[in-house]
Structure 1
Amino acid sequence: MSILSVSGLTVDYPSRGGAVRAVDGVSFTLAPGSVLGIVGESGSGKSSIGMALMGLTAASHATIGGTMTFDGTDLLSLNRSQWRNLRGDRIAMVFQDAMATLNPVLRVGDQIADVFRYHRPKMSRREIRAATLSLLERVGIRDAARRIDSFPHQLSGGMRQRVVIAAAIALKPDLLIADEPTTALDVTVQAQILELMDTLIREQNTAMVMISHDLDVVGDVCDQVVVMKDGVIVEAGSVDDVLSRPQHSYTRQLLDARPIFGAGREAQYG
């Protein structure tokens, strides 16, 4: 059984010279509780897939083709109101840059609370405050009772990313999209965030799409992986098969390009 099914997905962006195809015929399925890695270099189309899955392509005037089905719902048939109700509740996203994601003039607790206010309007202020505090504690923010009233600039990069994750998992979504969630963090904090995300999705049986250029990150947290180049999937399979026995030359190039101090399953895939 799959929670997400993508078939023949295309994403075209308008340009002066005509439409530019960023994603060309991508297909994959994702089961509840499983993690799919989408890996490729910049410009490969992987982030365009994430934005399409979240219904966030309107601002770029992109044209989406193919099919995307989430728990039996045709995502491409949803209107703006239906997307707003789904997004943040059953589908959520963790972006790369927490500082850009968070509103700099709002306290972090209020930004998490907004998720409850919109999607759970019957909750009282006291219940929302308690739920927000519990989330901050759950994602490992020390002294959460004090940090709940902090502004984003008063937190470290790792703490800000934990706040973003807390907001994303607040309503226990069925699907989490993570677009380069640790790129801006140092290696130690990156490992902590990846471990946190892995623990949370396993506890909640949340399916996740992990978008990354880092094969070590994919090797650490993903079950399946698709490798993209120029908008097309060039290789797909289990993480162990693809990273241990790559069949496509581009996958081998990505593996060869890793730094020798890489984390995760380096010893297995090196």
Structure 2
Amino acid sequence: MTAGSRAQSFEAAAVQYAASRPSYPAALFDRIEEFACCRLAGARVADVGAGTGIASVLLRERGAEVIAVEPGEAMAGEFHQALPGVPIVRGDGNALPLARGSCDLITYAQSWQWTDPGRSVPEALRVLRAGGALAIWWNTTAFDVPWIRRQHERIAHHCGLKPRPAARPSDHDAIRLAGLTGLRVARRQMRWSRTVPLDVHLANIGSRSAFLVLEEVNRQAFLADERERLRRIFTGEEVEETYVVDLLVALRP
């Protein structure tokens, strides 16, 4: 299964994605302001791969002037429901439909991995004003929480993927893997959690691309088994999900 197929798989689950995916902690945006050396209030921000608008909502709450870039029609439709007054254009990070030097900040929430950094980095630098910043981040697995680690291993096995190592990449490796070598980059990791009903947790799992490319019967079999496992841990059927946000902010020369 190609990365392109997995990226496109979100179109079939846009409503589920909007309803179940986690948001981001306030500290994330504090660190973006700190590393980018600019306030979000009044900043012109392009949120690329904006999806259903999870990050865009928070950027707007900080006073940013947001324009969203999203390739998927269904995801863009959910974005319009969440943020009817925010402009959204169809496109992706490899060929941004934005003018040169038009943005103070470009953000990628959970979406940088769907780009080719050999194309998306030059595109970001083209669209950013001098001194602007590129911020990319992910909600990553809190491997030190035993049940989350075991669940990650079960998901990887079921989807035919190799489990990620518990050790996180060094700053140098994270910057290299993101394709940001040669730029001035700051990195920060922030731990946070949310408590959600078991149904929301399972919907969150089911909205991941590795699941969306599986046959429906295959997905449902795993989720049914996972429901029974988690009921033995969370007897009140409220699940505490723990994340570590991994943030990289690169400054345009």
Whether TM-score is above 0.5 comes out as no
TM-score (norm 1): 0.30
